[in-house]
Structure 1
Amino acid sequence: MSRTPDVVGQKTSGTSLLIRRIVAYVVLILLVFISLFPFYLLIINATRGKIQNGIDFLPSGNMMNNFKKLFSDDSAARYGNILQSFLNSFIISGVSCVISVYFSALTAYAIHVYDFKLKKFAFTFILLIMMVPTQASAIGFYRMMISWGLIDSFIPLIVPAIAAPAVFFFMKQYMDSSLPLEIVEAARIDGCGEFRTFNSIVTPILKPAFAVQGIFQFVASWNNYFMPRMILQQKKTIPLVLQTMKAEILGNPQVAHAGVMSLYMVLAILPVVIVYLCLSKFIIRGIALGSVKG
């Protein structure tokens, strides 16, 4: 009995789908390998001492020795207090992340909910600020911090994070797609105040957006080198310590501190990875909803 055209077509379609899946999985596995391979080499280098020629895929036995060197008095004299640098980065990144996300969401809420004459102008003006690079105002900002006596303080690294146009724009797009005005109007009818409406009703709806922008702002502040280098003097953050280590190693490639630097980089990456893994569910959902309007 001959096969019907429908059966042959279904078999061909199933084979084609299987081939596409295989190709997709191969490409994804290759991308994962390319993404994770540098981290694997970094961990391997954290177990070594001096810089070696070529690539070695097997770990060495200097991990504990590098730990001792990293937290020794000699390391503190060379690079500053290692634990304090982590604490400084946590304070700056954590506080700036929270205030940036919250006040940007509050601003986006005002633009989204209220209707006033300069609404479009305010929205356009905030977006135009995104076009101005930080370096353009760095000299004036530095002089102002000197006149205010805020050099070597965390305040200039935290307070300006309140004005984050990119975070505002994402929050506004997210609200357009997932925050109906009827919810706010119903809360007002029930006698709920504006701040209570935002904090109790709107904020839970914005959890995915908070997670997305929270991790982005945290990582951006965690890795920020330019502003801390300009403001801080005695105090150190992780990028400043890494730059000091890098300068020392480049000056003398044979010094036995390359493994210490790699270990420090591994420890510096771990908090970001942990935060991302904890918020990954919200991040995926937030990006999906925030990119669709209507």
Structure 2
Amino acid sequence: MQGATKQPIAVVIILYAFLIAVAITCLLPFYSMFITSTHANSDIARRLLLIPGDQFMANYERLIDTVNIWRGFLNTVFITVTATAINLYFAALGGYGFSKYQFRFKGFLFLFVLGTMMIPGQLGIIGFYKLMDAFHMLNTYWPLILPSIYNAFGIFLMKQFADSSVPTEIIESGRIDGSGELAIFHRIVLPLMGPAMATLGIFAFIGKWNDFLNPMIILFDNELQTLPVMIASVKSQFSSDFGAQYVGIVISVVPILIFFSFMSKRIISGVAAGAVKG
């Protein structure tokens, strides 16, 4: 009996030790980033940094002297929040349509949507630039926001979730009560798709927040540039200012961590609520 009671405890200890090791491994890059931002360029280039330094404010002052980092921060927040909201809404609308409606060529159109995921976005950057030039949208935020209306992965994710978690009976009940199709979608379907939208929101937010290529090509005015482009431009004629760049990276990463923390709680609460209802 004594050996039987000790074995589960040993397994639990090993499991917790493994999880702690995984957590430390995941957090180590963030720790290194914060620590590096507090040191001078000479220390960053010369040795491994494990303890905090005293150069954070000096690096920050050089950063704001080089670029308008907080203007870039606000630009990125506006673009990311707007594009993510549009992305989530239209992905949910498209996924719901493919899941619950019957129409001609439904299977072919859905396969076509999935097929576009195989085409790298970089292949169309020249055509996209010429199209935006023809529409006189260069050096504006429209080319960075409007493409978020279409997201093949988002439509696929929402369709799969709607197939399994949005009962057709609830939709039929809404129709019997006299609700229109959009009213059913807004009042019934969207709340049920909360966990899937939270998952997609994390991917969409991080992807748009870290977008570097499109803003660099589309935006010409420095005051309109986003945070990743501004951070990459923090360099002198012959060398990069690593200390200032790391401070900029810290400023850029903190909102992502906050957003991820908030949305992950939404995912967990939604899954738990679904389990209780089931």
Structure 2: tracts of 5 or more residues without a match: none
Tell me what 2:17 maps to.
26
Question: Helix, strand or coil for the counterpart of 1:130?
Answer: helix
Tell me what 2:264 maps to.
280
Residue identity in the other structure for 1:239: P
Question: Helix, strand or coil for the counterpart of 2:103?
Answer: coil
Residue identity in the other structure for 1:42: M
TM-score by length of 1: 0.85
Measured against aligned partners, the alpha-carbon deviations of 1:254-293 in whole angstroms (never above 9, x if no partner) come to: xxx3222111111100111111111212234668999xxx
Judged with a 3 Å threshold, the aligned counterparts in structure 2 of structure 1 residues 285 and 166 are, in CA distance, closer, same or farther, namely farther
Tell me what 1:121 maps to.
108
Tell me what 1:3 maps to.
none
| C-alpha separation in 1, matches of 2:148 and 2:272 | 25
| C-alpha separation in 1, matches of 2:202 and 2:133 | 31
Question: Helix, strand or coil for the counterpart of 2:41?
Answer: coil
Q: Given the alignment of the two structures, is residue 201 of structure 1 paired with residue 188 of structure 2, yes or no? A: yes
Tell me what 1:175 maps to.
162
Residue 94 of structure 1, aligned match among 81, 95, 98 = 81
Q: Given the alignment of the two structures, is residue 266 of structure 1 paired with residue 250 of structure 2, yes or no? A: yes
- Greater than 3 Å deviation, 4+ residue runs: 11-16, 284-290
Residue identity in the other structure for 2:62: K
Bigger CA radius of gyration: 1
Tell me what 2:72 maps to.
85
Q: Given the alignment of the two structures, is residue 159 of structure 1 paired with residue 146 of structure 2, yes or no? A: yes
Tell me what 1:4 maps to.
none
Residue 237 of structure 1 and its aligned partner are, at CA, apart by 0.8
Residue 155 of structure 1 and its aligned partner are, at CA, apart by 0.5
For the Cα contact (< 8 Å) 2:154–2:200, is it kept in 1? Answer: yes
Q: Given the alignment of the two structures, is residue 138 of structure 1 paired with residue 125 of structure 2, yes or no? A: yes
| C-alpha separation in 1, matches of 2:256 and 2:120 | 25
Residue 68 of structure 1, aligned match among 61, 64, 67 = 61
| C-alpha separation in 2, matches of 1:188 and 1:55 | 64
Measured against aligned partners, the alpha-carbon deviations of 1:77-112 in whole angstroms (never above 9, x if no partner) come to: xxxx21111111111111110111100100111111
Residue 56 of structure 1 and its aligned partner are, at CA, apart by 2.6
Residue 252 of structure 1, aligned match among 239, 244, 255 = 239
| C-alpha separation in 2, matches of 1:161 and 1:174 | 20
Aligned residues: 271
| C-alpha separation in 2, matches of 1:197 and 1:85 | 39
Residue identity in the other structure for 1:186: S
| C-alpha separation in 1, matches of 2:146 and 2:270 | 26
| C-alpha separation in 1, matches of 2:106 and 2:100 | 10
Residue 134 of structure 1 and its aligned partner are, at CA, apart by 0.4
| C-alpha separation in 2, matches of 1:55 and 1:166 | 40
For the Cα contact (< 8 Å) 1:177–1:289, is it kept in 2? Answer: no
Residue identity in the other structure for 1:158: I
